[in-house]
Structure 1
Amino acid sequence: MSEFVKQIPIISLYKDGKQEQREDCVIQEKRVALYLNGHKLISTMSLPQDQDAYAVGFLMSEGVIESLQDITSIAVSDDGLNVYVQSRINEDSLNNLFNEKTLTSGCCVGVSANFEGKIVERFISTPLSLSVQRLWSLVERFSSPTDLFDKTGCVHKASLVFENGYEITSQDVGRHNAIDKVVGRAKLQNLDTTYAILLVSGRLSMEMVIKAAMHDIAIVISKSATTELGIKSAQLLGITLVGFARDKRCNIYTHPHRISHA
């Protein structure tokens, strides 16, 4: 049994009126606090794993930290509920986190701020391409449930697949957190995400697309839907956005030139 899973007694009620007493597995999320340069920055409901990666991914996605080399130290408390980062920071981006917060459409409710500024100047022109055959190979592999999802049905997953086939996968109760974690893990390994493909399990809203853009990720694929602002953001930022990638069909919403039929 995973340390993030708890068994509880429940009653299963069936359509025919039959009831069954049994045990079910539920996820155990925790409130994880992020401290930056000695000050508490934010708390998030999350799985207390890969907290260092989450901190790096979140802070770099928001432009608060611009490079891994800016970070002096990262420490995680023994109980896993506090993450301490010492780093050189972009003060303007940090201030935007408090002055221009946007309540996002995320599960577990996300907060993002830096939708303007640097992001409107970005256009990803990476000459990355993906064959139809490889697209479906990636989707099929990504669709394999994790042990934690099998037990609870209550986690999102994000994967980065690099040109050489190397793959990083993270999971969390929040789809935003899952992306921050997988990107953070890549940065901590000094991997260049410019030629990586991002696969996610959750819907592709604007802030999800912007997270990808902040790391120059040119192709984003989801098993789920996308929103209108997600599509508009991807078109503006040069991202190839693929949604509903399941059951032998997918929708290509923007920049289809990266999907090769050869």
Structure 2
Amino acid sequence: MESFYQTLQIDRIDVNGNASICIDYVVKEERIAFYLNEKKLLSVMSIPNEQDFHIIGFLISEGVLEDVSVIQKLEVAEDGKSVRMQAEIEEEKLRHLFREKTLTSGCCVGVAGNLEGHIVEKFIQSPYKIGIKEIFKNLEYFSYPSELFEKTGCVHKAMLVLENQILTSEDIGRHNAIDKVMGKAAMQGVDPSNAVLFVSGRLSLEMVVKAVMHNIPIIVSKAAATYMGVKAAVQTGVTLIGFARDNKANIYTHSGRILF
């Protein structure tokens, strides 16, 4: 964990003009290079951990990778700054990734290529339902800070709640955190169609698209939803829940999956 943050000496002040010298902790992000079939795909600014899960989750989110069964080789560089994948993919899907880029509304600048086309035609049919009390119970667990967050206050978290287990990942970017936890789920061969995804960031269009590409029926966040996020959730069958805090929540779409 210590390799993911750096200690600094800073001046701390308050509104009354009091000042003191103290030690603070800041996250150490790195530029991570993704390689696919011996060609550089892109670079992302990320915490250098779970890079293998990250590239898998990202490529599934973008519609490039169907599932992990087509992966032939996957390795992370010794310095952690690159990850290489060999996989059988359709070249047209890869070309589509670079044909049209949309600057995302993430806290860290991100790029999403496949926000159009086959994605909007997909509809989550999962009959999965969950009780409201269970949501808040999981939300309490989700809110418990990690060591890295306690040190730096500078990471987003994504948590996938399945029937028999809970998977979590964190990163400086909320999109990265989702890609990592979904890549982890894909590598373990779990079915996310009967699961709830908890995220720490706002529920925007690209966040919903990621959930849809992984067949997740329910997304919960303590933060707000955007109009395009809600619209996408309506069109794709995702149950979208925002402002889930203080024992209250806003259900924006497809409330039939929530048991009261």
Alignment partner, residue 50 of structure 1: 50
Q: How far did residue 132 of structure 1 move?
A: 1.1
In 2, the alpha carbon distance for the partners of 1:176 and 1:210 equals 11
Which stretch shifts more, 87-96 or 204-213?
87-96
Alignment partner, residue 135 of structure 1: 135
**Secondary structure in structure 2 of the residue aligned to 1:254:** coil
Alignment partner, residue 12 of structure 1: 12
Residue-by-residue CA offset, 1:192-235 (whole Å, 9 max, x unaligned): 11111100001111001000000110000011111100000001
**Secondary structure in structure 2 of the residue aligned to 1:114:** coil
Q: How far did residue 93 of structure 1 move?
A: 2.2
Q: How far did residue 90 of structure 1 move?
A: 2.5
Structure 2 gaps of 5+ residues are none
Aligned-residue sequence identity (percent) comes to 51
Alignment partner, residue 77 of structure 1: 77
**Secondary structure in structure 1 of the residue aligned to 2:59:** helix
In 1, the alpha carbon distance for the partners of 2:197 and 2:107 equals 19
Alignment partner, residue 90 of structure 1: 90
Alignment partner, residue 228 of structure 2: 229
Match for 1:84: what amino acid? R
1:232-251 to structure 2, matched below 5 A, reads 232-251=231-250
In 2, the alpha carbon distance for the partners of 1:51 and 1:238 equals 30
- Contact conserved, 1:66 with 1:90, CA < 8 A, in 2? no
In 1, the alpha carbon distance for the partners of 2:232 and 2:225 equals 11
Match for 1:25: what amino acid? Y
**Secondary structure in structure 1 of the residue aligned to 2:3:** coil
Alignment partner, residue 157 of structure 1: 157
Residue-by-residue CA offset, 1:81-101 (whole Å, 9 max, x unaligned): 010000011222211221100
1:1-262 to structure 2, matched below 5 A, reads 2-164=2-164, 166-261=165-260
How many residue pairs align between the two structures? 260
Q: How far did residue 121 of structure 1 move?
A: 1.5
TM-score after normalising by structure 1: 0.98
In 1, the alpha carbon distance for the partners of 2:207 and 2:91 equals 23
TM-score after normalising by structure 2: 0.98
Residue-by-residue CA offset, 1:175-204 (whole Å, 9 max, x unaligned): 000000000000011111111110000111
Match for 1:249: what amino acid? K
In 1, the alpha carbon distance for the partners of 2:59 and 2:132 equals 34
**Secondary structure in structure 1 of the residue aligned to 2:201:** coil
Structure 1 gaps of 5+ residues are none
In 1, the alpha carbon distance for the partners of 2:106 and 2:173 equals 7
Question: 4+ runs of 1 displaced by more than 6 Å?
Answer: none
Residue-by-residue CA offset, 1:16-72 (whole Å, 9 max, x unaligned): 011111110000000000000000001000011000000100011101111211110
Q: Compute the RMSD of aligned alpha carbons.
A: 0.9
In 1, the alpha carbon distance for the partners of 2:12 and 2:218 equals 41
